[in-house]
Amino acid sequence: MSSSSSSSSAARGADAAAAADGGADGAPVVKNHNKYRRDKPWDHDGIDHWAIPEWDPAMMKHSLVEESSFATLFPQYREKYLREIWPAVTKALEAQGIACELNLVEGSMTVKTTRKTRDPFIILKARDLIRLLSRSVPLAQALRILDDDMQCDIVKIGGMVRNKERFVKRRQRLVGPEGATLKALELLTETYILVQGNTVALMGPWKGLKVVRRVIEDCMDNIHPVYHVKALMIRRELEKDPKLKEASWDRFLPKFKTKNARRKRPSAPDAAKAEAKAAAGYTPFPPANHIVPSKLDKAIESGEYFLSERQRKQRKEAERRAKGATARAEKKREHAKVFENPDAAGADADDGGEAARERSHADSKSEAAAGAEEELSRLTRKLKGAKGAAAAPAPSKGGAEAYLLGGAPARAPKRGREDDAGSADAKKARKEKKAKKEKKSKKDA
């Protein structure tokens, strides 16, 4: 045993040395790596690996051994909608041999296989269905996920951008004005896209899902989706040409270069400051006012720090009263402006610039006064020449003149004591007459 083992080990050592030296004749030894790689007749260049074969229930003769189930939660605002559509969901899943349950207490949806299930992959389709329903996808659109050529993907965009305002702006950029960008992506990739909150729900073929996910991630990285839309439109036209099927499309696709925004040129004061700073040279000492004073420093400087609590309260009360007095005085001035003559105020305000207007106004006033005096003299002569002019009281020149000039009419003279006495006697006579009538009526009764 020992001799045979030693001889075999010696043979292996000789073979190893020969291989290290390049063989017995000195030629290098080439290792055959394809020794175990057999030809696969079912895998050739003519096979479309993206094609999805149709499922035939006859492929699976027996039911599943184990039960598989999936559950997902849904937000509270979707509860009312899910209760309305759940009978339709149950009917669609029962046709595929899948049982479903809606738990309103926990806020969850559950799907699981049954003995009638024949397609082992349909449970994953049912899982995607309840995921889409919880992401606010309508039922008519979500039921398409049960087809073999339809897949879904949920892109979580909530954690891609930290700033909330920037995140909202980029999410709106993905949607576009009135949903134009989203509609263009749906037409070019043949997918359904729904942007809801912090997620984006996708439905479509595998190729379309891959493209849309890349567009969404680039949009969150501050690359506008319109660049991808242009490239997709060019690719769509190039696919129609069979001559370019095997050629490179790089020469046709647009190449967008990143450009930094031009910085704003410094204004004249900023440029002057920069030049003065450069002319002064570098100094290691900080400027004199580089320290911002704190509240404590301000209190010490104003002397408030050394006051007692009572003195501080008195000081604050005095400041409050002074402020209130100033406000009241200002309010009184504003209130008094309502009762000021606007003409006088305007004349005082525009005394220097409105001298010509004042002179013209004075001239027109004097002309009006002269006309009024002539009219007054004419009326006076007419009244003197009329009959009974002596008995009629003459009008007061001042009152008539003021009335004709546009002023207030002259007041009537006050009644004297004699007028008051006469009115008292008349009242007394009326009372006596009334008393006599009442006495007479009583006697007749």
Residue 300 has pLDDT above 80, yes or no: yes
Looking at residue 6, what is its pLDDT?
Answer: 44
Which tokens belong to 386?
A: 């009329």
0.75 surpassed by pTM? no
Which stretches within 206-267 are classed as H helix?
Answer: 206-220, 225-238
In this prediction, residue 293 has a pLDDT band, given cuts at 50, 70 and 90, of: confident
pLDDT tens digit sequence for 182-209: 999 999 999 999 999 899 999 999 999 9
- Amino acid identity for residue 106 in this structure: E
pLDDT tens digit sequence for 368-380: 666 667 777 776 6
pLDDT tens digit sequence for 239-292: 888 888 888 888 888 887 766 666 666 677 777 877 887 777 777 777 666 677
Looking at residue 1, what is its pLDDT?
Answer: 41
